A and B are shown apart, each in its own frame.
Chain A
Amino acid sequence: MIAFIIRRLFQSVLVLLAIALIAFALFNYVGDPVSNMAGQDATPQQREALRHELGLDHSFIVQFARFVGRAAHGDFGLSYQEARPVGQIIVEKAPATLELSLVAALMALILGVPMGVYTGLHRNSFLSQVMLTGSLIGISLPTFLIGILLILVFSVTLGWLPSYGRGPVVHIGWWTTGLLTLGGWRAIILPATTLALFQMTLVMRLVRSEMIEVLRTDYIKFARARGLSRRAINFGHALKNTLVPVITITGLQLGAIIAFAIITETVFQWPGMGLMFIQAVTFADIPVMAAYLVLVGCFFVVINLVVDLLYYVVDPRLRIERRHAANV
């Protein structure tokens, strides 16, 4: 077990290095930050001096080595755009993204699972058809369009909910939360719905197909034969067995939600890390981009690691198979 964790940790470090390298290679194509930073009246000498100060006149290898060396100490440098430490910017933005992602993930689960169960049990009912057709929209419409549509309906036409921002936030230490104020909750509804819609569809369809699968199995038939109540069969036996893959997928999707919050955050001007990343790209703010990509890489690596470990712990078959494999 410990050997497994150590091996995985070692692999994780390699993965992160690879991400950093690829990201850094891409930065050669995002453009010249100096032209954004120096004003239109700056002289060529001033531009050169700035380039030198930033270390942009060094070769790719040297720049990369310096970045990794500093990043290992947790120092991601100063944002070109804001002239503030990148670490500080990320700490400021992270709560917004994490809160949005969490609310979206919960929304997807709380709505997705019951809908999946219902459509699995009543396959031909009218309501199931409506839900399934509706879920097609969730899968096929691009996120930004859903966001804009929600804004159009609920902000502009009905005037119920704010169209942008996070609303009033409460500071708890370095963490900021919008979940303790009414305004904060009003502000999170639209972006969280936008972000949750795809995941909700995914969860619903997953639960539905698993339910259908499980309901066909022998032990359900036996349970029916024993005369157990429908409720006990559907929720006590069937649903419980469908949840293992659902939990895995949701765990993995949490990483995706955090990473893909970029679009939702851009549409709703949600002051999180995704928005920060997009703005860094337009400015060629390399330190911010690098830190963000490495951080998202970290999220994925950690989530994957945890899921792997959970598998290992939860499913005894895996352990046995591994031992067999090792013997061969």
Chain B
Amino acid sequence: MRPAILRVILATAAVAMLALHAEAKTFRWANDGDVTSMDPYAREETFLLAFDQNFYEPLIRRDRNMKLEPGLATKWVQTSPTTWRFTLRKGVKFHDGTAFTADDVVFSFERATQPGSNVGGALATVKEVRKIDDYTVDIITDGPDPILPFDLPTVAIMSKKWCEEHNATRAADLTKKQENYATRHEDGTGPFILKVREPDVKTVLVKNPNWWGLKHEPIDIDEADFMRIANASTRVAALLSGELDMIYTVPPQDIARIKSTPHMKIWQTPELRTIFLGFDQSRPELLESSVKGKNPFMDKRVRQAFYEAIDENAIAAKVMNTYAHPTALIVGPGVNGYDAALDKRFPYDPAGAKKLLAEAGYPNGFEVGFDCPNDRYVNDAAICQAVTAMLAKIGIKADLLAQGRAKFFGKILHPHYDTSFYLLGWTPGTHDALNALTSLVQTRHGKDGVFNIGGYSNPAVDALDAQIQVELDPKRRDALIAKALGIVRDDFAYIPLHQQVVVWATRSNVDLAQTGDNFFQLRFVKMK
């Protein structure tokens, strides 16, 4: 009896496996987080934006090398310093069959800047969106904005008619006690259509047979099943056991193991995100330090001493298992304005660091609080532990407080800026250096320098930022950016550590486009 049952089970399993192979073009992948919303304006988070762009498309999108290319707009020109004219693609249909026109663009940009939307930051300079005719739109900016196109890949276009029909003309509004229709449904123009949405369990997308891009860009997979698997070991196990075709994020300690398993492949590329250390340079006295009555970090020599005491090459090699690219700048390769010639780190020199500290009046070092996340960046807490040990060698006692991201950001971000010394990572959302400069370096004022947690302030950099903002000539603009980045580097405003490496793992029959912004798009996936 029992062997008979076993035989039936095995036979069924075999049939099931054969069936899976027969409809081969189902691509299954998992991430550690779930897409929390199908609404492309719900959150400015790489994973959500990337996922939702499988069905919602922007006017301008990025190709497999992160270069801008026409999306729903076929052409864009600057007709005056404050006006960008977009020619829209004709013959595009939303998934419900409605034709895409200029009205949808006007509507979407308005929706994106209203309360409830979190992608409004990308459109901060947009003053007005004007419909010229059904397939032409003018965007009027608040002062010249030469890099507006770089902002647009974040903002997907939604259907005006659909949103109005389903009472979703605003992105999720938490004050209302009901779910927004767009949170679990979609009506985009993109290459995939949402078929099943079970939050936290399974999300199924199917190929859009009427996609406008199919002619020059065939989609290889018919169906894509997304699963959330939060536990890193389980995620890797599911890939190794053949239940998945791709996973990301890949835990660093499992990379070697996946690599050595037959039929598995590791993909890697430097990420745009830069990990760096920052100091409180604005308070007259540090919040958490043994030094009273003054702020040691206002002294450039102290900042330089910290810099020279940290052996970034050792961190990259040991803590990051070589999956890191040491850097001297606050932006990395792939970011517009990055200058490889400038990207030279100052040497590791603990003896020199000690001397600098003594010159600054701290021959015996001092004690300072050190804030660090433990679940935000790759091996973040381990990096901080290494830094703490390295600083101890020059007599600095860093009191490390490594905590979860919600606690960490609650402490160090606006409005408290409650930190003396911290680790942070930054990806310029626009892929342009100006975003890093205005967010991290510019003097805190209004919406400038919101993430300038240490309160660094340098009039020279502020002046450069203002110039970069309005400079229309790309060459001159790059030169200005380089100048600003150089000042930040030589002033030891931050201690840039490294760019992380984006690591994805797939079965070896999968081909895809991996980009440094960790923006995974299904339209590039091919399965052999």
Interface check B44, CB cutoff 8 A: yes
A282 near B: Cβ within 8 Å?
yes
Is A40 a contact of B37 with CB atoms below 8 Å? Answer: no
- Contact of A269 with B229 at beta-carbon distance under 8 Å, contacts A35-B409, A82-B37, A159-B242 already known: yes
Interface presence of A30 (CB below 8 A): yes
Chain A residues, CB < 8 A from B43: 37, 39
Residues of B within 8 A of A40 (CB): 44, 121, 426, 429, 439, 451
Contact, CB under 8 Å: B37 / A278? no
A74 to chain B, nearest CB (A): 12
Q: Is the CB of A30 within 8 A of B407?
A: yes
Stretch at the interface among A4-12, A83-91, A107-115, A205-213: A83-91
Contacting residues of chain B (112-141) with chain A, CB-CB under 8 angstroms:
115, 118-122, 124
Give A contacts to B, CB under 8 Å: 29-49, 53-54, 75, 77-78, 80-85, 88-89, 92-93, 148, 151-152, 155-156, 159, 162-166, 182, 266-269, 271, 275-276, 278-279, 281-284
Decide if B200 is an interface residue (CB 8 Å cutoff): yes
Q: Which of B405-428 contact A (CB under 8 A)?
A: 405-410, 413-415, 426
Inter-subunit contact B200/A43 (CB<8 Å): no
Contact check, B409 vs A83: say whether CB atoms are below 8 A apart: no
Whether A282 and B238, one on each chain, are in contact in the complex, defined by CB atoms closer than 8 angstroms, is: no
Tell me the bound Cα distance from A159 to B243 in angstroms.
9
| CB atoms of B230 and A31 under 8 A apart | no
- In Å, the complex CA distance between A271 and B439 comes to 38
Q: Which stretch, B173-181, B347-355, B466-474, B479-487, touches the partner chain A?
A: B173-181
Contacts A83-B37, A83-B180 hold; do A269 and B227 have CB atoms under 8 A apart?
A: yes
Contact B407–A278 (Cβ < 8 Å): no
Assess the B234–A83 pair: CB atoms within 8 A: no
When the two chains form their complex, are residues A43 and B121 in contact, meaning their CB atoms are under 8 A apart?
Answer: yes
Check A41 against B237 for contact (C-beta < 8 Å): no
Residue of A nearest to B33 (CB): A279
27 contacts between A and B (CB under 8 A): A29-B407, A31-B408, A32-B409, A35-B405, A35-B413, A36-B406, A40-B451, A42-B450, A43-B450, A53-B175, A54-B174, A81-B36, A83-B42, A93-B200, A155-B243, A159-B241, A162-B238, A164-B229, A182-B12, A266-B230, A267-B234, A268-B231, A268-B234, A269-B227, A269-B229, A269-B234, A279-B200
B429/A84 in contact, CB under 8 A: no
* A85 CB to nearest chain B CB (Å): 6
A75 closest partner in B (C-beta)? B177
Q: Does B268 interact with chain A (Cβ within 8 Å)?
A: no
Q: Which B residues are in CB contact (< 8 Å) with A166?
A: 201
Q: Interface SS of chain B: helix, strand, loop or mixed? A: loop
Nearest first, the 9 closest Cβ-Cβ pairs linking A and B are A39-B44, A41-B121, A32-B410, A31-B406, A35-B409, A31-B407, A284-B406, A83-B172, A43-B447
Give me 12 other A-B pairs in contact (C-beta within 8 A), A35-B410, A43-B121, A155-B237 excluded: A37-B118, A40-B426, A41-B44, A54-B175, A78-B174, A84-B183, A84-B199, A155-B238, A156-B240, A163-B243, A165-B201, A182-B12
Q: Decide: B179 and A85 in contact? CB cutoff 8 A.
A: yes
CB within 8 Å for A163 and B234 given contacts A33-B406, A77-B177, A284-B406: yes
Which residues in A have their C-beta under 8 angstroms from that of B34? 279
B218 at interface, CB cutoff 8 A: no
Q: Which residue of A lies closest to B37 (CB)?
A: A83
Contact: A83 with B233, CB < 8 Å? no
Residues of B contacting A42 in the complex (Cβ-Cβ under 8 angstroms): 44, 118, 120-121, 450
- Distance in angstroms from A1 CB to nearest chain B CB is 41
In the complex, what residues of A have CB within 8 A of residue B429's CB? Answer: 39-41
Specify which chain B residues have a CB less than 8 angstroms from the CB of A271 in the assembled complex.
198, 200-201
Q: Which of B121, B238, B447 contacts A39 (CB 8 A)?
A: B121
B375 within 8 A of A: yes
Q: Does B228 contact A (CB under 8 A)?
A: yes
Which chain B residues border A85 with CB–CB below 8 Å? Answer: 177-179
Instruction: State whether A82 and B183 are in contact (beta carbons under 8 Å apart), knowing that A30-B407, A36-B405, A44-B450 are contacts in the complex.
Output: yes
Name the interface residues of B233-268: CB closer than 8 Å to any CB of A: 233-235, 237-238, 240-243
Nearest A-chain residue to B240, judged by Cβ? A156
